[in-house]
Chain A
């Protein structure tokens, strides 16, 4: 095949994409902006503070000890990293024992440290000339513009007076900023570009107004039908009771000393999100399990396909309608669950509660569209049921076992006590969790219990969780429409 043939093929492929061209162009630009975003961080900040910290040289030479970095005094660096601990717990109290050397912090405690915060940024310690308690929180991704200074301290060790001349990274309180302050500019630009692409793609779509009307028509039809379906009535009652019961239990466990104690209200809502996914995903799969197969069997699909309605519209309408069938009762059950949780315990953050309610609808839509992909592909009734059951078991039941197995295979010692607190395991579990819409939902709820999306969720940045949350339903919807359209080709 020569270059002309390839060009012709590429040209034809591009032309066939037609309405998707603006969207694809915008996605390409967004990717360029994202690369520029990453490049900006990499060139203007030090994104691996731990590495600099580990390179420090401690020289314990007689009574004169020194701590040196590979930098000159007065050098200033902007560090970017995750707060490993809460600044509140890292602020020196007035009852600090002075004259004590802390090797982990590279400092001798003195009275002038009172009320100052020693940040733990990815394991690197930076002394803040002020109190950051309540201003920043654990897991937040921040930038710190710190300067290397020299500090002399004295302490006793084995009845010997030691003089410590240490180099120390210091910053003012105003030099600590949330990384999201910069990220938001990039995200806004990326969203704007994506919005323009979407706008022109929508504008190119033929008979969009009519097709959207048809999608609404199908959605309302599915909603009315689904709400009357006996299986939905049974499942709705079941998951409402389950969510309410678990909500009350999680509230009660906040005041408990038991093994299963819930740390706080935000921890409670994250757990409630998991249990909501556990039952609601089952209902989502159950209502959509035979949506295409049954219609094929009863020939209603051909009647529908002969109308001036696109296949994409049919999938969208069905997905919206079925999502509402599960989403409306789930929303009510969640409100009840929240009410019982807050009655028995404390009130979670507002962001967490809103995310818990709103993102549940996205999660339901994702599970419905995921099941529609399987329903479109299934050839027989038993295929449909097996696929649906398999999907639910995979995402809601056996996921943790799969994570354990893969973790073991990649060298995590899963026999060790508290191995779940191992940072390698947590990072792996979080990253692989992005492949499970339920975990993504849970992480997104967790993210919104914080005040910013510049959060590190055990190795996964907040923006990636949000991106997954949006990509999951879009990818499933696109795949379902693609599979359904492929049928047309016979």
Chain B
């Protein structure tokens, strides 16, 4: 079993609002958050807005300091080994901030200057990364004239320049066109094959499901589930499946009866011209009861179709977002 590369242990973080140096209000962002990422994993970091994903990433990258608990990389606490640990991390923030007056190579030279790498290595490695990310043609343009996608790719080159052991990506595909997304996915999978550990925070759940080996779901600053993707989906499949039904009619009475049953959730209720389509989340053994009940109430069932459980279902189930 691979050793933990990144470990968070009971990390607590509050945001404080100060006035004249005195704290007038504070709100909890991370609540004894614990999780670990093993070497070689692509770890999907999921959670609804305000769950604490960005705060967690800021604590790991040293932008913020946690109030209590420990964060360690390769067993070394980041607080006492800030310099060493930051050398192991490559970070792509959600909001890209680059100096608009610099060119791509000047940007790489500036950020590369904070690592123990020579100018010639920066140029050599930087050139290859710019090639790989399709930016070599724009090398003479100031970054201020770049599109968001181009800036994101350049920021990724910055994050990879010092050959980190962990790459942390906060919403990496936002602002990228489909080609950019695909290229990024290919690049990340390729880098992972070479041994790079990747932590990916994203709202695009299909992307996480496709790329990640492991997932952690955070809600209200707490890790509520951390498992491999296959395991997490297996577990949900055992508890509930998604069922799509095409009916001639779906009355309020039917809806009330279904809602009364605690094992059933109505996910969708749509009109399809002459027909109705409802999507339910339910335990497998409840399917005969649902069909019997509908037929008994005079409803005609044209089709019944089970769906594969997606990460989105897990996410919604785990974060309690049932509405």
Q: Which A residues lie at the B interface, using CB under 8 A? A: 206-207, 210, 214, 217, 221, 225, 228, 295, 298-303, 305-310, 488-490
Contacts and interface: CB of A to CB of B under 8 A. Distances in A.
A217 B62 CA distance: 20
Contact of A489 (B65, B96, B115): B65
What bracket does the count of chain B residues touching chain A fall in?
Answer: 35 or more
A310 B93 CA distance: 19
Given A214-B113, A217-B114, A489-B16, A300 B98 contact: yes
B114 A488 contact: no
A308 B67 CA distance: 21
A301 B84 CA distance: 20
Interface in B71-115: 82-84, 86-87, 89, 91, 93, 95-101, 110-111, 113-115
Given A228-B101, A300-B97, A488-B65, 16 more contacts: A206-B83, A214-B113, A298-B97, A299-B93, A300-B98, A302-B95, A306-B63, A306-B86, A306-B91, A308-B82, A490-B13, A490-B14, A490-B15, A490-B16, A490-B29, A490-B65
Interface in B5-60: 13-16, 29, 58
A217 B63 contact: no
A225 B111 contact: no
A286 to B, nearest CB: 19
Contact of B83 (A207, A303, A305): A207
Given A206-B83, A221-B110, A490-B15, A306 B61 contact: yes
A97 B100 CA distance: 81
Contact of B86 (A221, A303, A307, A490): A307
Nearest to B84: A308
Contacts of A303: 93, 96-98, 111, 155, 158
A307 B16 contact: no
A225 B101 contact: yes
A488 B82 contact: no
Contacts of A310: 82
Contact of B113 (A207, A217, A298): A217
A302 B113 CA distance: 16
A308 B95 CA distance: 20
B116 interface: yes
A490 B97 contact: no
B64 interface: yes
A190 to B, nearest CB: 32
A309 B114 contact: yes
Nearest to A296: B97
Given A306-B89, A308-B115, A489-B16, A301 B97 contact: yes
B323 to A, nearest CB: 31
A210 B116 contact: yes
A303 B89 CA distance: 12
- Among B13, B63, B87, the one with the most A-chain Cβ atoms within 10 Å of its Cβ is B63
A305 B62 contact: yes
Contacts of A210: 83, 116
16 contacts: A214-B114, A217-B110, A217-B114, A299-B97, A302-B58, A303-B93, A303-B155, A305-B62, A307-B115, A308-B86, A308-B87, A310-B82, A490-B13, A490-B14, A490-B15, A490-B64
A307 B13 CA distance: 21
A226 B64 CA distance: 28
B63 A299 contact: no
A301 B93 CA distance: 11
A8 to B, nearest CB: 18
Contacts of B13: 490
A298 B144 CA distance: 11
The 5 nearest A-B residue pairs measured at CB: A299-B97, A308-B86, A307-B114, A300-B97, A306-B91
A18 to B, nearest CB: 10
A307 B88 CA distance: 10
A295 to B, nearest CB: 7
Nearest to A301: B97
A302 B62 CA distance: 10
Contacts of A309: 114
- Among B16, B86, B155, the one with the most A-chain Cβ atoms within 10 Å of its Cβ is B86
B83 A302 contact: no
B97 A295 contact: yes
B114 A308 contact: yes
Contacts of A217: 110, 113-114
A91 B87 CA distance: 73
Contacts of B158: 303
A310 B114 CA distance: 11
Interface in B183-208: none
Contacts of B61: 305-306
A488 B83 CA distance: 16
A302 B98 contact: no
A299 B96 contact: yes
Contact of B64 (A225, A228, A308, A488): A488
B67 to A, nearest CB: 7
Contacts of B97: 295, 298-303
A235 to B, nearest CB: 19
- Among A298, A302, A306, A308, the one with the most B-chain Cβ atoms within 10 Å of its Cβ is A306
Interface in B215-245: none
A306 B162 CA distance: 13
Contacts of B67: 489
Nearest to A483: B21
B299 to A, nearest CB: 55
- Among B86, B97, B98, B99, the one with the most A-chain Cβ atoms within 10 Å of its Cβ is B97
A404 B63 CA distance: 47
B63 A302 contact: yes
A302 B16 contact: no
Interface string B260-285: 00000000000000000000000000
A489 B14 CA distance: 8
B74 to A, nearest CB: 15
Contacts of B83: 206-207, 210, 308
Contacts of A488: 63-65
A307 B111 contact: yes
A225 B100 CA distance: 11
A300 B16 contact: no
B202 to A, nearest CB: 18
B113 to A, nearest CB: 4
Contacts of B89: 306
Nearest to B61: A306
A294 to B, nearest CB: 10
A295 B15 CA distance: 21
Contacts of A306: 61-63, 86, 89, 91, 93
B24 to A, nearest CB: 13
Nearest to B168: A306
Nearest to B111: A307
Nearest to B55: A490
B320 to A, nearest CB: 26
Nearest to A220: B113
A298 B99 CA distance: 8
A163 B195 CA distance: 107
A4 B152 CA distance: 55
Contacts of A307: 86, 111, 114-115
